Amino acid sequence: MSGARHFLTLLDFTSGELEGLIARAIELKEMHKAGQRHEPLRGKVLGMIFEKSSTRTRVSFEVGMAHFGGQAIFLSARDTQLGRGEPIEDSARVLSEMVDGVMIRTFEHEKVERFAAYSTVPVINALTDMYHPCQLLADVQTWVEARGPIRGRTVAWIGDGNNMCHSWINAARQFDFRLNIASPEGFDPDPSVLDAAGDRVTLTRDPHEAAEDADIVTTDVWTSMGQEEEQKRRLEAFRGYQVDAALMAQARPDAMFMHCLPAHRGEEVAAEVIDGPQSVVWTEAGNRLHAQKALLEFLMG
Ligand code: CP
Ligand code: NVA
């Protein structure tokens, strides 16, 4: 309905634009560390709609807007008319009259698509049941700033074929790396997302096979937000899919361990791995700030 660019999945941007964002994120991080002020969003406001909990996403967007001289406002479904059934389309048009960008964390991916269709300001997906593209910007940045280009590298995804897995699949397409997924039967990624990635992405039941010679080993919780009542069944299904030292030993000796967090030690990852020398999870979390600043500058600057 409007010419505003949105970031609902990694496929909304070209590979070149994504590469540009990563380079800019690294630059913005250096500028911030050097104490350099950069306020391209002075006077601008980001509306942040949260229908699920968050620590990293909320703080990184809020701090990013503060660094840029703008402001962010937190809108929870519980305290707004969204939670009382005001149509998404109406909310999108109302917020477009007031704010300069909107960030949404919700359940159905279709909700952010509907919101974006009626929004005249940029809309950012801050996690849906299907995708978590902002996290992937930070994850790719974490690799690139330490090791250089990710093109041609191998990533192993161990565990649930969930929103993070789907975004890793899209990242493999856009940044051109190999992705080996190991998930238990019944927890595969969405076939349409998987098939679109072609032979760059493989699916196996064997975590050790997936991790072989990987440059990055990554995982996520076995029970995502909104799936709490399935927890018991999931704990059983995912037994054998923990990223532990033996699994890391299959990967390259200098492989990085990544996790979007929050993590459950003793479930999807062993403490020895997430708290060990190959783990980059704290840098990865910190890079949410810098990668999203690059995104905000691109969309709202
Ligand atoms: N990784 C991530 O999105 O964390 P939060 O749920 O804390 O925002
Ligand atoms: N898959 C997790 C990611 C949390 C950042 C969830 O959706 O709960």
Q: How confident is the model at residue 77 (pLDDT cuts 50, 70, 90)?
A: confident
Fold agreement between 10-131+287-300 and 135-284: yes
CATH 3.90.180.10 fits 135-284, yes or no: no
Q: Is 165 annotated as catalytic? A: no
Q: Which of 52, 54, 160, 164 to mutate to test the pocket of ligand 2 (most atoms within 8 A of CB)?
A: 164
User: Quick one: angle between helices 281-300 and 56-67, nearest 10?
Assistant: 50
* Ligand 2 center–CA 285 separation, angstroms: 14
pLDDT score recorded for residue 2: 63
pLDDT score recorded for residue 199: 96
The structural domains of the chain, with segments of one domain joined by +, span 10-131+287-300, 135-284
Q: Which of 50, 221, 231 to mutate to test the pocket of ligand 2 (most atoms within 8 A of CB)?
A: 221
Averaged over 207-234, what is the pLDDT?
Answer: 98
Averaged over 278-297, what is the pLDDT?
Answer: 99
Share of residues in the chain with pLDDT > 90 (%): 97
The pTM of this model reads 0.98
Q: How confident is the model at residue 3 (pLDDT cuts 50, 70, 90)?
A: confident
| DSSP structural state of residue 247 | H
Spatial CB neighbours of 98, under 8 Å, sequence gap ≥ 6 = 45, 47
Which listed ligand is nearest to 135 at the C-alpha? 1
Architecture of domain 10-131+287-300: 3-Layer(aba) Sandwich (3.40)
Closest ligand 2 atom to Cα of 226 = 8
In the chain, % helix, strand, coil (3-state, to 5) comes to 45, 15, 40
pLDDT score recorded for residue 174: 98
Share of residues in the chain with pLDDT > 70 (%): 99
Please write the tens of the pLDDT for every residue from 193-218.
Answer: 999 999 999 999 999 999 999 999 99
Burial bucket for residue 84 (CB in 10 Å: 0-12, 13-18, 19+): exposed
As given in the structure block, the two tokens for residue 172 are 């493999």
Q: Is the CB of 221 under 6 A from ligand 2?
A: yes
d(CA 119, CA 210): 41
* Ligand 1 center–CA 164 separation, angstroms: 11
Residue 297 has pLDDT above 80, yes or no: yes
Q: Coil, strand or helix: which one is 268?
A: coil
* Ligand 2 center–CA 179 separation, angstroms: 19
Q: Name the catalytic one among 109, 139, 260, 278.
A: 260
Whether the bond between 189 and the residue before it is cis, its omega within 30 degrees of 0, is no
Please write the tens of the pLDDT for every residue from 98-157.
Answer: 999 999 999 999 999 999 999 999 999 999 999 999 999 999 999 999 999 999 999 999
